[in-house]
Structure 1
Amino acid sequence: MKKQSTPRGTPLEVATQAVYQAFARYDAPHGLLDVCTACCMDAELEREMRRLPLRQLTEKHFYEYNDSAKSQVQPADEIKYLAPRLLELLAEGARLHHSTELYLDRLGRCEAGSFSTAEQSALQGFALAYFAQGLEEWPAASDALFQGDNAFSILLMWSYARVPLEPLLQHWLDCESDVSTLNFVDACYWDYVWNANQMGNAFATDEVEYKRTMEEWLNRPA
């Protein structure tokens, strides 16, 4: 009898495993993480992030890690070791910072060129799967994938991670569901100033590329 294939899971689950595979070669840092244990992060949590198996790290670990004082330029190998679990928790609805837009800020602070083509592809694939799933959820409740934030805030989160937004925006354009349209109306209401043709989120103030991409997309003739 022919053996039946095992279901691979949802696109987001598949994308999560692809991230684990893309970053599998990185080891836990041996020394102190790029955090402040004097006042920002509990020292025991910091040690656990280096010593526990990666998949055992929790929302609490990453919340304090992300909320801590940090270097302007992030240590790429440290970030790439932690990235799979960070994104897995994001897919599970974990709260990873006081502001959604900054959940993935550390990814975007790595030096340009830090990520290989395969790593960039895995991040892009995860971003698309995450965004696509969230667009099909309504209402925008706190226990939904977008955690009550609007879709433009989620795009800004990916912009902070330096993940290109064009594939996500193209997917949104191609969506035909009522729910994706409701998410568009909601995002425009909260985060776009129509009479000025500009993005309104305060976290976007210095994100020049994000504002350019979004404003061109929103003002593009149909």
Structure 2
Amino acid sequence: MKALKSSSKTLGKKGIAMSKKVMMLIALMAVSLLTMPLAGCSKPLTLSVYEPQHGAAFTDASVEVRGNVSDSKATVWVNDNVVVVTKYPKTASFTTTIDLIEGENTIKVTAARGKPDNWKDVIERTVTVTYGTTIEVTSPEDKAELTESPVTVNGKVSDPAAKVTVNGIEAEVANDGTFSASVELVEGENTIEVTATVEGKKPVAQTITVTYKSS
């Protein structure tokens, strides 16, 4: 009887120990199941570039690039150069200055998380800007049909110091870059070419076509 009682106690202890192990195993499995989806639920990386604006024109040879990235630990490149990311309470920002070449410039901004041999969440934004003198002809409109000659050609040049000619006729340029010139038209189709020249830069031109029909 004593042997049976002793054996019973031993089995009881073993059973309790086994039950504890099973409970611990179940608890560990539950924790694993709960944490597995959370591991892949990090917020998606976002990137925005707010300066310069796409399509902007500049007369200076450099431009400041500004933007935000959602993760302060992300690596950010501007035209393949790593830039400093500054952390704020709800976001992180970056600022850098790059040089422009004459004409059209594409600025590529990239953000990624991870390490050089295993980048993750790579996203990219591109902004195209123009450096140099730009011309905008505001009137008459391209392909306009006119019944009066001469016609006054109005527009704006990005650099008020530019010399502007309209079909070879020098236009008056105001301090804000606006210009005007009077052009004689011939019957039928007329090509109006506006050229702006700034010392040390390539001349730029814009051409419009109008049709003149005398009344």
TM-score, shorter chain, exceeding 0.5: no
Looking at secondary structure, tell me which structure has more helix per residue.
1
Q: TM-score by structure 1 length?
A: 0.21
| TM-score w.r.t. length of structure 2 | 0.22
Q: 1 or 2, which has the higher strand percentage?
A: 2
Q: 1 or 2 for the larger relative contact order (CA 8 Å, sep ≥6)? A: 1
